Amino acid sequence: MYLIDMDEISGTIIPNADLTVRTHGNPVLVPGKLHSAIRLDGNGQYVDAGDHSNTCLGNVELCLHGLTQSAWIYFREFRDNMYFMSNGRGVRVFHKDGLLHVVVEFDRKRWQVSAPDLQKDTWYFFEYTWHPEKGLQVFVNNRLVGYRKNPVTVQQRPYSESDSLVLIGNTNMADNDSERTFSANVLIDEVEMWYRDRDNIIAFDYILRGYLFIYSALCSLHCSFKCFKKSFK
């Protein structure tokens, strides 16, 4: 499991025990859902967690047990082809035609789910989970909003050996389908990534989604994230 909590920026680095996380474009920290969030202004600011094309984090074909990613997101603008997440090899989260799309794709197979009715200037707990046999599910505020079990067959997407980065708020070159893309205008907090599908990590009590909004309320009263997690062990 990886957590990027967005609580500190030192120069261009977001300190993290497990990943080298860099910022681009000089984004700043603002009050977030859980302590601080990073503000991306839609003008080329983004977060780069590096090239992980040899692991599940950056290459969905290697996610034999699935993949789950979650974050608190506060959308400040929606534009077609505005990208919120990309791992360079298989995962894309972007806005188009009034919907937020989550795409998982590899080996000519594509799972795509769209999340409707999202508003600007509102915090959402956004989560997607994928498993090669169970398919793709998208949750908003702990509610299932979209599901696709079986993939469709598509043309193989070319991937660049030098452009396969785990990005928050921007896109990799291979994602754009020759269309113009935009970096995200958004606040993002508490990004978590797991090498398992959601059912699996809930079954082993690694995440406690039933406590989601109690968690949020307590942290808004200045309870630290680490102390809160410890209290449920």
How many other C-beta atoms are found inside a 10 Å radius of the C-beta of residue 154? 12
- The residue assigned the tokens 């505005």 is 82
Query: Is the confidence at residue 220, as pLDDT, over 70?
Result: no
* Residue-level pLDDT at 43: 97
* Residue-level pLDDT at 218: 45
How much is the average pLDDT of 166-172? Answer: 95
- Of residues 167 and 203, more confidence is placed in 167
How far from chain centre, in Å, is Cα 82?
A: 14
Lowest mean pLDDT among 42-51, 76-85, 166-175: 166-175
Helical ranges in the chain per DSSP H: 198-203, 212-220, 225-231
* Residue-level pLDDT at 117: 87
Query: Of the candidates 104, 103, 93, 88, which has an alpha carbon nearest to the alpha carbon of residue 52?
Result: 88
The neighbouring-strand residues paired with 166 are: none
How much is the average pLDDT of 4-16? Answer: 97
Cβ partners under 8 Å of residue 5, min gap 6: 34, 35, 189, 190, 191, 225
Q: How does residue 230 score in pLDDT terms, banded at 50, 70 and 90? A: very low
* Residue-level pLDDT at 157: 73
State pTM to two decimals. Answer: 0.87
Percent of the chain residues past pLDDT 90, beyond the cut: 76
- Provide the mean pLDDT of the chain: 88
- Considering the domain delimited by 2-205, tell me its CATH architecture: Sandwich (2.60)
Query: Is the confidence at residue 229, as pLDDT, over 80?
Result: no
Tell me whether strands 182-183 and 82-86 are parallel, antiparallel or unpaired: parallel
Domains of the chain by residue range? 2-205
Output b/e per residue, 90-110; b: 16+ Cβ within 10 A: bbbbbbeeeebbbbbbbeebb
How much is the average pLDDT of 155-178? Answer: 81
Tell me whether strands 21-24 and 13-14 are parallel, antiparallel or unpaired: antiparallel
Please answer whether residues 116 and 145 qualify as being in contact, where contact means their C-beta atoms are separated by less than 8 angstroms. Answer: yes
**What span, in angstroms and rounded, lies between the C-alpha atoms of 141 and 213?**
9
Pair of tokens at residue 111: 């799972």
**What span, in angstroms and rounded, lies between the C-alpha atoms of 231 and 233?**
6
